[in-house]
Structure 1
């Protein structure tokens, strides 16, 4: 199982989930996207969703993996969607968690930064940057106390240098662009592998309407709505996320295509 994180994030977000999946008997692979977390921050490499999808293909080839299950969150979900559309035979199962899709991203706030202030924001002081990202991260959970102390520090850690701050805007924010999901929106009906869409009911960044649209457009999709969870559903309810993944992996390999919604 390949775990693909979102933004503003890195593989740290899977710390309470991936080990439990591995303990349940599944091989897990967790990595940082290029330009994120502990990965390199090359000045001349494309780190867009399209480029990250190609890098995923290279990673699987390097590891000798022909078919995988994918759990993908936020922009990681865009990578998962694109990879599954391009290589449907290589994806055994696909779980999309509070994913960007269609025209759901970037938010008006990030769009204004990208269009008008990107260079200015790349030169923020550390205190100003930390304040900006803290405000954003606190919006990802239903209880801000979950995004505080050591947890918040871990999310901020990759950016606590001039290079880290600049990289956040160059390798992540610059590539917030709905074209990467809009251009495949008409191909989602080609997905035939089992798909589970897991969504926090209180997601402030990706409205539930997009989850409903995805569940309608993907013939094999099941939508599961998690109450009292926000955009970082794995922070709000890691035990529930773990149960859903284990259950999904144990499910039938030939879905019936009778899309349904589960609120629980």
Structure 2
């Protein structure tokens, strides 16, 4: 299933998206290194339950435009998300967001609370949790010289990172691994990966939210893979303490890409959350 089959122009840039189903609107925001592809086993379950589901590729990711002169940080992506909702005619929406998408969702809920009906964050970056140790090594070793990487070297680098996202390595092989690597199968794709994603792995975008988490005024659920090697579980507990009324659910046997390890559980949690509020 193509999770970003259509295009819309937001603030002068093209975003690839998919809008399917009828009913209450639910927006799924992906993380990094990823695209809306990560929601392929979750979105159909939500649609079948009677929800309108919107997925999209962040600017500089997947099928969306890769401009050389636009801010693709968490802050820049939050402004674009606000514009995307306006383009789609959505006054408010339930947001389900993963990894850096979680930080985008939190910023949107704080800066534009009227836009967010409820918020679920999955294995989100927060506080000083990112970049992880292995991503810091990638930044130190390659950010300034990535043009010298061959396709084979790049694929090996990203594969090593992607293998850390799941608790069961076999889940990140074959067609699934190929789909995660596909947006970067060119010199432009490799450059975009470093310029639009890695260059913006910066915890200041989440640390500046720390003192504001207590101001969140929407229902929040936190879903976390117990075996997440990038975002350790103690960050989930800290968020649950700092966000008023937040509810934490932990998924045993799941890693950072919890929707790859446990798509049925993720869909069940989302549906439960949507129905509970």
TM-score, normalization by structure 2: 0.89
| Residues 102/71 of structure 1: CA separation in 2 closer, same or farther (3 Å cut) | same
1:86 matched to 2:104: no
Q: Which residue of 1 aligns with 2:32?
A: 7
Q: Secondary structure at the match of 1:28?
A: strand
**How many residues end up aligned between the 2 structures?**
252
Alignment root-mean-square deviation, CA: 1.0
Deviates more, 1:86-95 or 1:159-168: 86-95
Q: Secondary structure at the match of 1:39?
A: coil
Q: Secondary structure at the match of 1:119?
A: coil
Q: What is the CA deviation profile of residues 104-143 of structure 1, one whole-angstrom value per residue up to 9, with x for unaligned ones?
A: 0012332344356312124310000100111111111011
| Distance across 1 between alignment mates of 2:44 and 2:57 | 16
Q: Which residue of 1 aligns with 2:100?
A: 75
Matches within 5 A, 1:182-201: 182-201=207-226
1:36 matched to 2:61: yes
Q: Which residue of 2 aligns with 1:255?
A: none
Q: Secondary structure at the match of 1:211?
A: helix
| Distance across 1 between alignment mates of 2:201 and 2:130 | 7
Q: Which residue of 2 aligns with 1:172?
A: 197
Q: What is the CA deviation profile of residues 226-259 of structure 1, one whole-angstrom value per residue up to 9, with x for unaligned ones?
A: 000000000000000000000000003xxxxxxx
Q: Tell me, which stretches of 5 or more residues in structure 2 are unaligned?
A: 1-25
Q: Which residue of 2 aligns with 1:129?
A: 154
1:243 matched to 2:268: yes
Matches within 5 A, 1:3-152: 3-115=28-140, 117-152=142-177
Contact 2:132 2:231 in 1 (8 A): no
Q: Tell me, which stretches of 5 or more residues in structure 1 are unaligned?
A: 253-264
| Distance across 2 between alignment mates of 1:7 and 1:115 | 18
| Distance across 2 between alignment mates of 1:98 and 1:249 | 19
1:217 matched to 2:242: yes
Q: Which has the higher contact order (CA 8 A, sep 6+)?
A: 1
| Distance across 2 between alignment mates of 1:226 and 1:67 | 28
| Distance across 2 between alignment mates of 1:116 and 1:148 | 25
After TM superposition, the runs of 4+ consecutive aligned structure 1 residues lying more than 4 A away are none
Name the structure with the higher strand share: 2
